[in-house]
Amino acid sequence: MVRNLVTGLCLAVFAAVIIGMSNLLGLDLEHVALLGAALGGVLGLVPHRHAWGKVAGFVAGFLLAWLGFALRAAVLPDSSAGRAVAAFVVVILITAVAAVSGDRLPLWSGLVGAASIVGAYESVYSNAPSQFLTESPAAATTVLLAVGLGYLATNLLAPQPSPSHQTVRSAVHRRDAADTEPTAEPNATLDDLVAGAAQ
């Protein structure tokens, strides 16, 4: 409970800082402040055995979704069919990266990376697909900054749990539960079981 409160407070402060930076530096961060902080928070909060793996998975998903926009701008028609093909290709490639890496780059972090660039750039792209080369870098850098601050808030500033005790406790609980479950003899018939229950 304390960890949730501290983490939420850190994320709230960083979201406000992102908007303050936007006004101070003249950056267009306001519309991605909450999106980036929330996705960075998810990236920092979800445990994974390789901390670098979830960050690398995020970057892979981010880049593949960005390439999906490039594919739409260069080759695919600006229609529902074109968007469907791009979405299919991006998700398949993110899945392939996760599978080839042996889950060192988890699928969920790749999807979070894709969601970050799509959430920040989709509406801008829809308004001017021909401006992909000039507008997509700005959208990418602004959302990456917001995600980075959200990740920093949850991964570095908020207190981290010690999952080893919880993992050991649940493993022991599962083993104890399995040991106490009644088991039937391999050759026991239904009549034998009913007779045994009646005694």
Q: What is the pLDDT of residues 126-167, one digit of tens each?
A: 888 888 888 888 888 888 888 888 888 787 665 555 444 444
User: What pLDDT, on the 0 to 100 scale, is given for residue 164?
Assistant: 46
* Spans of the chain, pLDDT less than 50: 162-169, 171-172, 184, 190, 193-194
Domain extent listing, the chain? 2-198
C-alpha closest to that of 13 among 42, 32, 34 = 34
User: What pLDDT, on the 0 to 100 scale, is given for residue 196?
Assistant: 57
User: What pLDDT, on the 0 to 100 scale, is given for residue 23?
Assistant: 65
Q: Which helix (H) or strand (E) holds 7?
A: helix 2-25
CA dist., res. 54 & res. 188, Å (int):
50
How many Cβ atoms are within 10 Å of 39's Cβ, its own excluded? 23
